[in-house]
Amino acid sequence: MSDRSRRSRVWLPLALAGLVGLLVVAYLVVDRRGTTAPGSSTPPSAGSPVSSSVLQGEWSGRGTATRCAGFDRCDSTRTVTLTIDCSGKRCLVTPFDRSYGSPPLRFQDGRYRAAGPVPADVAPRCGGAPAYTDLWRLELTVHDGRLRGSYAESSLQSFDCGATGLAWDVVLDRR
């Protein structure tokens, strides 16, 4: 067998594996329009920012699963809690507890958005080690005194473990 034939046997599967990996990442990261999963509860035109006093405080509610990728099984609902602190120059949001961080809540394109790392103790595991690329994302609007939108977590792991993605449509009420 020639060297060229041997090289093509090695490089072709590697190239295909790389392409599959990129497609999985694109599938998890890109907002999939036209999917059979329920769409986001976020109103199409969210409008103008609200005063920080409207956002300030503790919020909680149920989320309904809209995406489950890379797991054998996902819960169809999840309780989501947020604390929004607007005592400083910017409002900071903390989902669940302090281990998720407190990034700024930014208003962009008619929606409030924030993102941060998922703590290692709750992140998906690959070979016993947590996925340190696991991130959470929040996208909300204020509608009738409630926060509505989505909460998502996604990770990119090694080729041995692949990628994961979870998303929930959420409706949160002030506690």
- Confidence at residue 6, expressed as pLDDT on a 0 to 100 scale: 60
Q: What averages of pLDDT result for each successive group of 10 residues across the chain (175 residues)? A: 60 48 42 39 61 96 91 85 96 96 95 93 74 86 94 79 87 96
Which residue in 152, 162, 164, 150 sits closest to 69, CA to CA?
164
Positive or negative, the Cα torsion across 171, 101, 165, 126? negative
Q: Helix or strand or coil: residue 125?
A: strand
Find how far residue 123's CA is from the centre of its chain. 12
- Confidence at residue 38, expressed as pLDDT on a 0 to 100 scale: 41
Q: With beta carbons less than 8 A apart as the criterion, state whether 115 and 97 touch.
A: no
Class of the CATH-defined domain 31-174: mainly beta
- Confidence at residue 164, expressed as pLDDT on a 0 to 100 scale: 84
Which residue in 127, 135, 153 sits closest to 63, CA to CA?
153
- Confidence at residue 32, expressed as pLDDT on a 0 to 100 scale: 38
* Structural domain boundaries in the chain: 31-174
- Confidence at residue 133, expressed as pLDDT on a 0 to 100 scale: 75
- Confidence at residue 16, expressed as pLDDT on a 0 to 100 scale: 45
Q: Helix or strand or coil: residue 39?
A: coil
- Confidence at residue 41, expressed as pLDDT on a 0 to 100 scale: 44
Distance separating alpha carbons of residues 140 and 146, to the nearest angstrom: 10
Distance separating alpha carbons of residues 123 and 73, to the nearest angstrom: 15
- Confidence at residue 134, expressed as pLDDT on a 0 to 100 scale: 84
**pTM for the full predicted model:** 0.70
Distance separating alpha carbons of residues 95 and 134, to the nearest angstrom: 15
Q: With beta carbons less than 8 A apart as the criterion, state whether 74 and 68 touch.
A: yes
Q: Helix or strand or coil: residue 146?
A: strand
